[in-house]
């Protein structure tokens, strides 16, 4: 998507010209003209969940609808695998929607006069898929969202969460690689919403779709998004991962926005870990270990054997052995270890119980770094200058 | 000169609309006469065919058929009421006339629906069509029916056909309006969902918009039938046989009792057709969905 503009109203082209020359959306004083999306450019990678985040009126839903041509763009291009959607005939756009993209709606948009099964099969029936194949695809999609056995019910008989799972199944059954989700979980209760988010992440792990997800809920954005585009007044302010947005917000607006996020749920061990500067090998002599720990006032040290995490030693155990032998003799092989993608929130308990720093390891057990109690505390503090300024104003 | 002008008052120069209208009627009669003959043949054939089919059945069978239909559509209670109602009509010796009237109402109703629903759909989808159709409908509904009854008689001569044509003109508007309203009231998100899955406009219309607008469309059809019944006496005046012409004959010769009997026949037909068609609306897919949802 390149330099995309969407302006509603007459004299739209004039509005685009003025916006291009740097006029702000609010200053655009053309009667009856609303610039919903201004100069938006981004690329969504195959297989990622790309979240567009913004408050109501920021243009995020409009942006989504330009992606499948439900709203024509005023200026700019929408490229799907190098094919420009803006130059397509209506028939080509329909073909694209049938084969490449499906959509999940905020208020579900299920057809009340059709059963769950007929709703889910809708995309397939539009594609002209054979009846038999429709049935199997529908059954598969319903199984994915956990609604097997509800085929003959009507949408009106289901709860909100179940209705949206039907909406999701309808999009999945169409078997398109791109999924557009317009505030798909915003109308649900917080608990159900969280459940749906988990389900979506699970499905994504199995299916690897390319998902563009719209939301106004930052916590949702950070939970789901591989990358997040923050929108404000029709412009995209920052495109970044959740961690980048927390640690390096592009401007004061983003900084203020992310301030209330529970950062311990967003940041992972990899964001707070530090290199394991001082570590022993099993062959390190206890005398040497004792001396090092005393000098650096360390209570525990990680032990690595040729790059692989072996365990940890505590100052108490080293002192008790009284200088004879090597680290291997007093090594605690069951010392706490975590993976790089563990949320910081889950580290506190483990860290409090461990005398030594937490070892951060990869899937093969190699030592990547360590998390100390100090670094955990530091992750909670807000260190960005921009935010301190905001605090000072407040 | 000036005094004269003031004394007489000033008026807009006379506009000869009446002459124009008469000229148009003349022109139509002279130029598309064959078309009117064709309409006359089709409508006359349908009405007389239906009427003779209905009166061919023995009255007892006829009454039982109506009662059974009522029972099937609405339940035994309505079946029983229909049985009593049509038995009373037979007891008044009005059943054959009632069947003549029923045939005219049904033919007029079918023609009106066949015109009203497509026009309503076109108006819902196209703002320009809607803007043109609205004043035409207002005109059709408010123009006193006698005004167009006379030219219609000129085109089709006396008989059931001018009655049917005048009835169609009068009964059409609510069908168009309620169809347009129904389609317009379909949740835009439903239509958007259809578009998002790449459905072409025609399929969105038949699979989403029309089914969801069905309750409103059926209300329009119900209104068409009811307005058709309200035209039976006027049809009777131009020679359409049935209850209407009996009422008209009774009124003009001050036979109060006979007029009341025929009027009663109209009432029975009206109640029967109203309940029957309004129930069909609730039987549409959306109506069924609503009831199941309410039960859940």
**pLDDT for the residue B5:** 54
**pLDDT for the residue B153:** 87
**Mean pLDDT, residues B180-206:** 92
**Mean pLDDT, residues B158-172:** 90
Contact list, A95 vs chain B (CB under 8 Å): 198
Q: Does B185 touch chain A (CB under 8 A)?
A: no
Contact between B189 and A105 using a beta-carbon 8 Å cutoff: yes
Residue A111, both tokens:
């057809």
**pLDDT for the residue A24:** 66
Q: pLDDT above 70 covers what percent of chain B?
A: 96
CA distance B125 to chain A (A): 17
Place of tokens 């059926």: B218
Q: Does B61 touch chain A (CB under 8 A)?
A: no
From the list B196, B199, B211, the residue facing A70 with the nearest CB is: B196
**pLDDT for the residue B221:** 92
**pLDDT for the residue B2:** 53
Of the pLDDT bands very low, low, confident and very high (cuts 50, 70, 90), residue B111 is very high
SS (H, E, C) B178-208: HHHHHHHCCCHHHHHHHHHCCCCHHHHHHHH
Residue B250 pLDDT exceeds 60: yes
Mutation to test the B interface, candidates A113, A123, A160, most B Cβ within 10 Å: A113
CA distance A225 to chain B (A): 23
Contact between B296 and A156 using a beta-carbon 8 Å cutoff: yes
B94-104 pLDDT, tens per residue? Answer: 889 999 999 99
Cα B210 to Cα A310, A360, B101, B216: the distances in Å are: 70, 61, 31, 10
- H helices of chain B, in order, are 2-8, 17-31, 33-56, 59-74, 76-91, 95-125, 127-142, 145-156, 160-184, 188-196, 201-204, 210-230, 232-237, 243-252, 256-282, 285-295
Q: Does B138 touch chain A (CB under 8 A)?
A: no
Homologous superfamily in CATH for domain A270-378: CBS-domain (3.10.580.10)
pLDDT: which is higher, B286 or B68: B68
Q: CA-CA distance, B243 to B26, in Å (whole number)?
A: 32
B48-65 pLDDT, tens per residue? Answer: 999 999 888 898 999 999
ipTM of predicted complex: 0.73
**Mean pLDDT, residues B236-262:** 89
Contact between A112 and B286 using a beta-carbon 8 Å cutoff: yes
From the list B198, B203, B289, the residue facing A154 with the nearest CB is: B289
Q: Does B206 touch chain A (CB under 8 A)?
A: no
Contact between A102 and B285 using a beta-carbon 8 Å cutoff: no
Q: Are A357 and A274 in contact (CB under 8 A)?
A: no
For residue A366, the 8-state DSSP code is: B
Residue B259 pLDDT exceeds 50: yes
**Which of A120, A125, A122, A123 shows the shortest CA–CA distance to A145?**
A120
Q: What are phi and psi of A231, to 5 degrees?
A: -110, 145
Is it true that domain A44-240 has CATH number 3.40.50.300?
yes
Q: Which residue of B has its CA nearest to A124?
A: B197
Contact list, B200 vs chain A (CB under 8 Å): 94
CA distance B288 to chain A (A): 8
- Can A44-240 and A270-378 be said to share one CATH topology? no
**pLDDT for the residue A9:** 47
Q: Which parts of chain A sit beneath pLDDT 50? A: 1-3, 8-10, 383-394
A244-297 pLDDT, tens per residue? Answer: 888 888 888 888 888 777 777 777 777 778 877 777 888 788 878 888 888 887
Buried b (16+ CB within 10 A) or exposed e, A247-258: bebbeebbbbbb
Domain ranges of chain A: 44-240, 270-378
Contact between B296 and A109 using a beta-carbon 8 Å cutoff: no
| DSSP reduced 3-state for A22 | coil
**pLDDT for the residue A219:** 85
**pLDDT for the residue B103:** 93
Write out the residues of chain A at the interface with chain B, using a CB-CB cutoff of 8 A.
68, 70, 93-99, 101-103, 105, 107, 109-114, 122-123, 126-127, 154, 156-157, 170, 174, 180
CA distance from start to end of chain A: 38
């Amino acid at each position: 998507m390149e330099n995309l503009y969407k302006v509603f109203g007459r004299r739209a082209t004039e509005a685009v010209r003025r916006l291009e020359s740097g006029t702000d959306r609010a200053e655009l004083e053309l009667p009856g003209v609303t610039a919903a999306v201004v100069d938006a450019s981004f690329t969504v990678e195959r297989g990622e969940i790309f979240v567009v985040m913004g408050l109501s009126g920021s243009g995020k839903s409009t942006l989504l609808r330009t992606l499948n041509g439900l709203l024509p763009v005023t200026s700019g291009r929408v490229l799907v695998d190098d094919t420009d959607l803006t130059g397509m005939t209506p028939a080509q756009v329909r073909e694209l929607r049938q084969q490449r993209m499906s959509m999940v709606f905020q208020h579900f948009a299920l057809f009340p006069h059709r059963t769950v099964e007929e709703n889910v099969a809708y995309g397939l029936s539009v594609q002209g898929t054979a009846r038999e194949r429709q049935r199997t695809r529908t059954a598969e999609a319903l199984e994915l969202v956990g609604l097997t056995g509800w085929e003959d019910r009507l949408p009106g008989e289901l709860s909100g969460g179940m209705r949206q799972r039907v909406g999701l199944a309808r999009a999945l059954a169409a078997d398109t690689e791109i999924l557009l989700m317009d505030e798909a979980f915003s109308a649900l209760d917080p608990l159900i919403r969280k459940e749906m988010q988990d389900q979506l992440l699970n499905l994504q792990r199995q299916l690897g779709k390319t998902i563009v997800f719209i939301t106004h809920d930052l916590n949702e954005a950070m939970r789901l998004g591989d990358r997040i585009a923050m929108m404000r007044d029709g412009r995209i302010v920052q495109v970044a991962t959740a961690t980048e947005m927390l640690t390096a917000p592009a401007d004061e607006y983003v900084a203020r926005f992310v301030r209330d996020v529970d950062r311990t749920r967003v940041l992972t061990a990899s964001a707070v870990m530090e290199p394991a500067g001082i570590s022993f090998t099993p062959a390190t002599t206890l005398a040497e270990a004792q001396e090092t720990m005393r000098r650096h006032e360390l209570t525990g040290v990680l032990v690595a054997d040729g790059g692989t995490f072996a365990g940890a030693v505590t100052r108490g155990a080293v002192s008790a052995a009284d200088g004879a032998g090597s680290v291997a003799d007093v090594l605690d092989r069951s010392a706490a270890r975590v993976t790089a993608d563990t949320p910081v929130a889950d580290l506190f308990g483990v860290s409090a119980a461990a005398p030594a720093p937490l070892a951060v390891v990869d899937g093969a057990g190699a030592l990547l770094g360590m998390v100390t109690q100090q670094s955990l505390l530091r992750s909670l503090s807000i260190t960005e200058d921009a935010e301190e300024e905001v605090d000072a104003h407040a | 000169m000036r005094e004269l002008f003031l004394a007489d008052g000033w008026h807009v120069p006379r506009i000869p609309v009446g002459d124009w209208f008469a000229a148009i009627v003349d022109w139509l009669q002279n130029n598309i006469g064959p078309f009117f003959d064709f309409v006359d043949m089709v409508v006359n054939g349908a009405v007389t065919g239906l009427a003779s089919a209905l009166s061919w059945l023995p009255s007892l069978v006829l009454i039982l058929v109506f009662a059974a239909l009522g029972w099937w559509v609405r339940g035994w209670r309505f079946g029983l009421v229909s049985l009593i109602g049509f038995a009373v009509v037979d007891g008044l010796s009005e059943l054959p006339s009632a069947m003549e009237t029923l045939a005219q109402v049904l033919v007029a109703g079918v023609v009106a629906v066949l015109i009203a629903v497509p026009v309503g759909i076109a108006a819902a989808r196209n703002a320009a069509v809607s803007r043109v159709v609205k004043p035409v409908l207002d005109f059709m509904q408010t123009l006193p029916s006698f005004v167009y009854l006379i030219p219609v008689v000129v085109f089709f001569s006396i008989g059931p056909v001018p009655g049917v044509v005048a009835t169609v003109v009068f009964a059409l508007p609510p069908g168009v309006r309620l169809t347009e309203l129904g389609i317009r009231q379909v949740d835009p998100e439903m239509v958007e969902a259809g578009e998002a899955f790449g459905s072409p406009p025609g399929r969105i219309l038949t699979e989403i918009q029309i089914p969801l607008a069905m309750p409103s469309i059926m209300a329009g059809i119900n209104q068409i039938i009811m307005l058709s019944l309200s035209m039976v006496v006027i049809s009777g005046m131009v020679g359409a046989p049935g209850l209407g012409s009996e009422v008209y004959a009774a009124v003009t010769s001050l036979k109060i009792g006979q007029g009341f009997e025929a009027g009663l026949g109209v009432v029975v037909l009206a109640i029967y057709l109203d309940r029957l068609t309004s129930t069909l609306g609730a039987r549409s897919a959306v109506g069924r969905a609503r009831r199941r949802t309410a039960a859940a």
